Structure 1
């Protein structure tokens, strides 16, 4: 049994990723830790509860950090809707835990050292906070998989940075260096990997046509982002980053190509702040801390997404 803690900032693509984990045989979601990101913490916490309501799952939800380490927070409501779920207005009365997400992460991992894998789908503020409190945390995890970065500087929030890293660069810097300091690897599913695995309008319509409650839920919460992509970005291909990362977490064999290198995050230069910088040629003496995923089995990815909506 694969046991996951999912750190998340829902977001319709977070919802689909969580649906994938819930549908995957042999996988158990132990907890959701929630961070501000796509929208503010109040909404991301509600959205996590809405997703679990839709799935009929009894899983603890731990709200975490409302703001980044240093700079004012940003969000992506322009793409995800003001509520984060496509302006659907879905609300949940599900109770959430009083314990802070960072403390809950530490407690869950220390209760089952070596058994839990961490999947991070949002800004890394909660996890970096936990790392400061427990620097040995990475060693106690089975695997760590994140959606974050743009390893060749093909950004989405600006020209060179990806949203999750740019939203809290100091947390991301501490995260990557903390994992490297104890000899651990982060499996990185970045924005450029996401762009290699886009989904056409026709495929989206095929998913909606499945006619199941899960497919209808995802179609409803993603309609706003689909309209944004078509009308504002002028694309017919939609990218869902978090399901790509979740596929790596669920089935490591889905990875077709990857490379291991040192990865850091730019902080000081205003032109490159939040950019992920990779030592592709291994020139430096910094520890290898990133297993950078370059390509997936696309057909298997599509099947995992389809199964999540049945």
Structure 2
């Protein structure tokens, strides 16, 4: 019998985070120990409320801890223009029947890591502020972190500037701390997520998949991140990688995070090793995915959710 993989989700729900939570908390191969929230797509108060609404929707007793209200050094700017004022428009959720922990995100993660019987994978799909604060305040936790699977970055082009992806751009100083941590990192950035578009056909098919399908149909329909061919469910790709890493093609890379100037938020791949030794790599970077397979897998996950 395969044991479920213990994970912590650090997120800023957000529509694509909501879809990622829906898949993760219902997947038999994942054991979600904790969900922590951060300011990103909308304020941290709203991302926390959204996480609690989703856990109420699926009736999952997973603890939620609220995290950073703002980046380490920069002013906070949300993405409500993409995710709506609430962060989760398109479906009328019940008010949550549970509350966030009184403990903040950093201390909650620290506690879970220290109590764990084995190292835990942390999946980050928002700004990495909480993760950077954890590494700074509790470096003793590093042996208990199996690795990070991060939605963020790009080694081609950005989505909030010519070179920067939103999660890294929101708090580049935090991203630099995480990428410089020496821990195993898989970066699932725009090079993958802008290929793995949820097609209009997939969105329509969700309506046939009971209550979870109708909920996700509503969210995806309301999602403002529109591309030719569909809409990217950026954060869902991290969950796919956690359970089926062979479905995303990766390559080792030496990644530097730019923290100032016109390229702020860029994740630069030093593929020519101009700045690092030829044997230095600090991340496994996603570079390709079969979009049709991704759509099929996503619908399969929703069909298995309790209706």
With the length of structure 1 as denominator, give the TM-score of the two structures. 0.90
Correspondent of 1:267 among 239, 259, 263 = 259
- CA distance 1:87–1:71, shift in 2 (3 Å): farther
Displacement after TM superposition at 1:278 (Å)? 1.1
Equivalent of 1:240, from 227, 233, 243?
233
Residue 298 of structure 1: how far off its partner (Å): 3.8
Query: Which residue, 63, 67, 84 being the options, matches 2:66?
Result: 63
The CA distance in 2 between the partners of 1:100 and 1:198, in whole Å, is 34
Tell me the equivalent position of 2:168. 165
Q: In the alignment, is residue 176 of structure 1 matched against residue 175 of structure 2?
A: no
- In structure 2, what is the Cα distance between the partners aligned to 1:253 and 1:239? 20
1:199-248 superposed Cα distances (whole Å, 9 cap, x missing partner): 2212211223x2411011111222221xx345xx6x44211100112111
The residue that corresponds to 1:53 in the other structure is 56
| Contact 1:267–1:273, Cα closer than 8 Å, also in 2 | yes
Output aligned runs, 1:194-209, within 5 Å. Answer: 194-208=193-207
Q: Which residue of 2 aligns with 1:188?
A: 187
Cα-to-partner distance string for 1:113-149 (whole Å, 9 max, x where unaligned): 6431110010000000000012243432223100000
Distance in 2 separating the partners of 1:10 and 1:266:
25
Q: 1:109 aligned to 2:113?
A: yes
Do the aligned partners of 2:191 and 2:286 also contact (CA within 8 Å) in 1? no
| Distance in 1 of aligned mates of 2:295 and 2:200 | 14
Distance 1:68 1:23 in 2: 31
Report how many aligned residue pairs link the two structures: 297
1:118–1:143 Cα contact (<8 Å) kept: yes
Task: Name structure 1 gaps, 5 residues minimum.
Answer: none
Tell me if 1:293 matches 2:297.
Answer: no
Which residue does 2:302 correspond to in 1?
309
Match of 2:6 in 1: 3
Could you say what the CA RMSD is over the residues aligned between the two structures, in angstroms? 1.8
Contact 1:151/1:278 (<8 A) preserved:
yes
CA contact (8 A) 2:203 2:221 kept: no
2: distance between equivalents of 1:87 and 1:217? 8
CA contact (8 A) 2:165 2:265 kept: yes
| 1:109–1:304 Cα change, 3 Å | farther
Is the aligned partner of 1:250 residue 2:250?
Answer: no
CA distance in 2 between counterparts of 1:254 and 1:236 reads: 20
Residue 92 of structure 1 and its aligned partner are, at CA, apart by 2.0
The separation in 2 between residues aligned to 1:115 and 1:36, in whole angstroms, is 26
1:75 to 74, 78, 81: 78
Equivalent residue of 1:142, what SS?
A: strand
Q: 5+ residue gaps in structure 2?
A: none
1:118 matched to 2:111:
no
Q: Secondary structure at the match of 2:235?
A: helix
CA shift, 1:289, in A, is 1.1
1:220 paired with 2:218, answer yes
